């Protein structure tokens, strides 16, 4: 059981992640509370094997979770699916489920922080996030980040904007 504010913290640029459930606690999933600063854009990417759920608690986020007709260009907010789906402007109570291999992204297009619950299956995504934090916060080159993502089965589809 955790009180508000409890949990290990990971910071990646301005993104604030509080680990609520980790691989040391569970085999099947990790859980995080994430504060997304204004202007933050994780960029579109896909995971070889993981599943994710994003649930908006406060504020607004742009959310993508579908296979687009084309991944050309860096503006994932303009992507469309074959069946007409578009990026969702999501407020409190909105959620997306991301199956393995599905392109997805989130961004905060507003001038206020947003907060979300982020679930990752299987457990252990916090290890990747900690490694990424060290690279980003130490201003490592893009080659190191690409290598980290490859080790974790993550393909970045667009340039990271923040």
Helix (H) or strand (E) holding 68: none
Residue ranges in 29-141 assigned as alpha helix (H): 125-137
Task: Give the whole-angstrom CA distance, residue 134 versus residue 140.
Answer: 8
Question: What pLDDT, on the 0 to 100 scale, is given for residue 160?
Answer: 67
CATH class of 8-156: mainly beta
User: Which pLDDT belongs to residue 77?
Assistant: 95
Sign of CA dihedral 18, 23, 24, 28: positive
The pLDDT, as a whole number, for residue 89 is: 97
The string of pLDDT tens digits covering residues 109-144 is: 999 999 999 999 999 999 999 999 999 999 888 889
Residue spans per domain, the chain: 8-156
| pLDDT recorded at residue 162 | 41
d(CA 116, CA 38): 14
pLDDT along the chain (162 residues), means of 10: 93 95 96 97 94 98 96 90 96 98 97 98 96 92 89 89 45
Residue 52 Rama label (left phi>0; alpha psi -120 to 50; beta): beta
């Amino acid at each position: 059981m955790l009180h508000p504010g409890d949990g290990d913290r990971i910071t990646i640029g301005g993104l604030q992640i509080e680990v609520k459930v980790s691989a040391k606690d569970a085999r099947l999933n990790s859980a995080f509370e994430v504060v997304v600063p204004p202007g933050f854009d994780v960029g579109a990417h896909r995971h070889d094997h993981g599943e994710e759920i994003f649930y908006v608690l406060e504020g607004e986020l742009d959310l993508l979770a579908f296979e687009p007709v084309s991944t050309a260009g860096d503006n994932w907010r303009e992507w469309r699916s074959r069946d007409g789906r578009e990026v969702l402007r999501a407020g409190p109570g909105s959620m997306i489920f991301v199956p393995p291999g599905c392109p997805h992204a989130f961004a905060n297009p507003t001038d206020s922080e947003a907060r979300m619950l982020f679930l990752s299956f299987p457990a252990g995504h916090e290890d990747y996030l900690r490694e990424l934090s060290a690279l980003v916060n130490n201003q490592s080159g893009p080659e190191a980040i690409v290598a980290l993502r490859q080790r974790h089965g993550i393909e970045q589809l667009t340039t990271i904007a923040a």
